[in-house]
Amino acid sequence: MMRPEVKALLLRWREALIGLAVAALGLYWGLVSFGILRWLGWVIVVAGLALIVTGIQRGRFRRAGDGPGIVTVREGRVAYMGPEAGGIVDIDALLRLDLSPDGPAWVLISEDGSRLTIPADARGADQLFDLFATLPGLGLDHLLHLLDHPGETPQTLWQRGRKQLH
């Protein structure tokens, strides 16, 4: 039996912990083994370090999941069903991504001007990390910093570049 707080902590940082285990195994092989297994161990260390870095980013992004509403992401489409509002936004139609200090919450603004506000701690909101990572020019470190330290006003994190006709 595991305490719920410990289970939640392990689940939040699971990718980083897996990366740590992979890197430790690779380090062991790299130091103790010989021949091809030694070289394979060092490759595994590098892979483990990459898992640790991405796991830390995901862990910082992931919230408790006990906020209002449910988020689903399927085939480039974000759907949010909340107690008072909800909606759907296609990632191809996304014009701007803002972070509202209320909560904090993600504000997705589409080409038609519709706004979808998703609490950062809604169930399934951690799926948005992969979606946001595909946005060209979005700095994930900046996003994570603002998520940890939201300002008093909404912050624009990403905006689609406007195409010039000339």
pLDDT tens string 8-26: 888 888 899 999 999 999 9
Residue 164 has pLDDT above 50, yes or no: no
Per-residue pLDDT tens over the stretch 74-121? 988 899 998 888 888 988 888 999 888 877 888 999 988 889 998 888
Instruction: Find all residues with CB under 8 Å of 69, minimum gap 6, and list them.
Output: 80, 81, 82, 83, 86, 118, 119, 122, 123
With 0.85 as the threshold, say if the pTM is over it. Answer: no
CB 37 within 8 A of CB 88: no
Provide the β-strand partners of residue 33: none
Q: Pull the structure tokens for residue 62.
A: 């992931």
Provide the pLDDT confidence category of residue 156 given band limits of 50, 70 and 90: confident
Provide the token pair at 68. 């209002």
